[in-house]
Amino acid sequence: MEKSHNQLNDFPKEQVRSAIQQGITQAEAQISNKINSTHSYKIRNGKRKIIYAVSTVAAVFGILIGSSYYYPALASSLSKIPIIGSVFGDSNLIGLIQAQKYGLTSEIGESQAINGISITLDEILYDQNKITIGYIIESEKELGEFYLGAGADFTINGELPNGSSGGGGYREDIQSPTIRTAIQDITVTEDMPNAFELGLILHGENGETWYFSTPIKQITDIRKVPIQHSENVDGINLTVTELSIDETGVSISYESSEEGTDFELSRAGDIEFLMVDQAGNEITSHSGGVTGNRLKNSLVFKSNKQFDPLNSNVTDLRITPYLALPTGGGGVVFGENGELRELEFKGDSLQPVEFESFKVKITQ
């Protein structure tokens, strides 16, 4: 124990700092020399530059690893540093991992810091049914739970969308007391163009406001499978229009309606789908935001429900609509003049119904 204690006190901090700085300086000098070499060795020298950079990094980490062998406290500290590569790539969402794998995401990497809190707009995916945004949140002090509330408000080409646009979801994953990542979904609606300037406005719980703006474009390699399945069950009209398939996942587009004027007493906005392939394997659902409008004496809803990507061996799908009735909560509604009004929960009186299943042939 005494020997270990002496090694801890004798840890060469200044030598480590000096060695790291010396390695970086040498690498910069070597790279500079190679850049000034003759044109005929351009490719060869490019390779050497990579080797030099990697060697320097390896030397630095070699110093750290070697030092941690004699300095357990340093090893413990290093093990607690979160390594964040890509918010999408490090997530557990297959669709986002696939999107990054096939180069469908836009890497942004823009950071803004206010009051010791830095937010990085990491990357964005704009697919057939949603815009997905990845953030990295870093703070000098410990952050409270859901520091950014429900995520960002957004604009389309500098204009706020109408009250029925948007929706989706927001979640934060804690990496450490001062670092977390977040993923936000914005539901794609008919008034969203295929390409536009996306503005994001984030609010911290202490009044901070972060603004980001970036051009985005919807991915184009999307396969549409027309369905046109319609049914009326206990006053609920349901029309499933099409299935969309790409590398990021599958989505079901539908419209539903029901007579009435009270959103809280309507069931047409609570429709979800069970999807299984020809072997009975369930395709994982990620739900999706719903937009609703009051038209005369009816309530009309539209949505794109989202699922994991399909395996290459899937040839047929059986899809079963069902009601996912709320068990508590409430909601908000936009009035005719744009005012926001809270809704009390009345869903405990709603009754379930049974819809018909239908099959969809998938051609590879």
Both 322 and 257 in one domain: the answer is yes
Both 159 and 209 in one domain: the answer is yes
Q: Which residues contact 8 (CB under 8 A, 6 or more apart)?
A: 71, 72, 73
Both 143 and 23 in one domain: the answer is no
Both 233 and 251 in one domain: the answer is yes
The whole-angstrom distance between residue 155's C-alpha and the CA centroid of its chain comes to 18
pLDDT for the residue numbered 160 = 79
Both 207 and 234 in one domain: the answer is no
Both 202 and 281 in one domain: the answer is no
Residue 200 has pLDDT above 90, yes or no: yes
Q: Is 89 part of a structural domain of the chain? A: no
Both 74 and 163 in one domain: the answer is no
Report, as an integer, the average pLDDT of 47-66: 36
CA distance 131 to 134: 10
What confidence tens digit (pLDDT) does each residue in 244-269 have?
898 888 989 999 999 988 887 889 98
Q: Is 341 part of a structural domain of the chain? A: yes
Q: Based on the structure, what is the number of domains in the chain?
A: 3
CATH classification at residue 243: 2.60.40.1640
**CA distances, 114 to each of 142, 180, 182, 349 (Å):** 15, 16, 18, 47
Selection from 222, 18, 211 nearest residue 121 by Cα: 211
Both 270 and 238 in one domain: the answer is yes
E strand spans, 164-208: 168-176, 179-187, 195-203
Percent of the chain with pLDDT over 70: 69
Q: Which helix (H) or strand (E) holds 298?
A: strand 298-307
pLDDT for the residue numbered 98 = 86
Question: Does residue 76 sit in helix, strand or coil?
Answer: helix
pLDDT for the residue numbered 49 = 28
- What would the DSSP string read from start to end of 18-69? HHHHHHHHHHHHHHHHHHTS-GGGHHHHHHHHHHHHHHHHHHHHHHHHHHHH
Q: Is 169 part of a structural domain of the chain? A: yes
Both 321 and 355 in one domain: the answer is yes
**CA distances, 153 to each of 214, 269, 307 (Å):** 14, 23, 25
DSSP, res 264: G
Give me 99's structure tokens.
């999107």
DSSP, res 261: S
Burial class (CB within 10 angstroms; exposed 0-12, middle 13-18, buried 19+) of 175: middle
Residue 189, CA atoms < 13 Å, CB-side half-sphere: 18
- What would the DSSP string read from start to end of 319-354? EEEEE----S-EEEEE-TTS-EEEEE--GGG-----
Q: Is 88 part of a structural domain of the chain? A: no
Q: Is 56 part of a structural domain of the chain? A: yes
Q: Are 167 and 290 in contact (CB under 8 A)?
A: yes
Both 231 and 181 in one domain: the answer is no
Higher pLDDT, 295 or 50: 295
CATH classification at residue 113: 2.60.40.1630
Q: Which helix (H) or strand (E) holds 273?
A: strand 271-277
Q: Is 84 part of a structural domain of the chain? A: no
Range of the domain at 31: 2-79
CA distance 53 to 23: 10
CA distance 342 to 347: 15
DSSP, res 102: T
Question: Does residue 179 sit in helix, strand or coil?
Answer: strand
Q: Are 37 and 45 in contact (CB under 8 A)?
A: yes
Question: Does residue 89 sit in helix, strand or coil?
Answer: coil
Report, as an integer, the average pLDDT of 270-275: 94
Higher pLDDT, 2 or 108: 108
Both 200 and 307 in one domain: the answer is no
Beta bridge partners of 307: 250, 285
Domain end, chosen from 217, 249, 283, is at 217
Higher pLDDT, 296 or 129: 296
Q: Is 319 part of a structural domain of the chain? A: yes
Domain end, chosen from 217, 232, 254, is at 217
CA distance 119 to 212: 10
Q: Is 87 part of a structural domain of the chain? A: no
Q: Are 201 and 152 in contact (CB under 8 A)?
A: yes
- The mean pLDDT value of the chain amounts to 75
Domain end, chosen from 79, 111, 139, is at 79
pLDDT for the residue numbered 332 = 61
What confidence tens digit (pLDDT) does each residue in 81-134 have?
444 568 888 888 888 888 888 888 989 999 999 989 999 999 999 987 789 999
CA distance 317 to 88: 27
Both 229 and 354 in one domain: the answer is yes
Q: Which residues contact 334 (CB under 8 A, 6 or more apart)?
A: 163, 164, 340, 341
Q: What is the CB neighbour count within 10 angstroms for residue 323? A: 20
pLDDT for the residue numbered 183 = 92
The whole-angstrom distance between residue 205's C-alpha and the CA centroid of its chain comes to 21
Q: Are 235 and 259 in contact (CB under 8 A)?
A: yes
Higher pLDDT, 287 or 113: 113
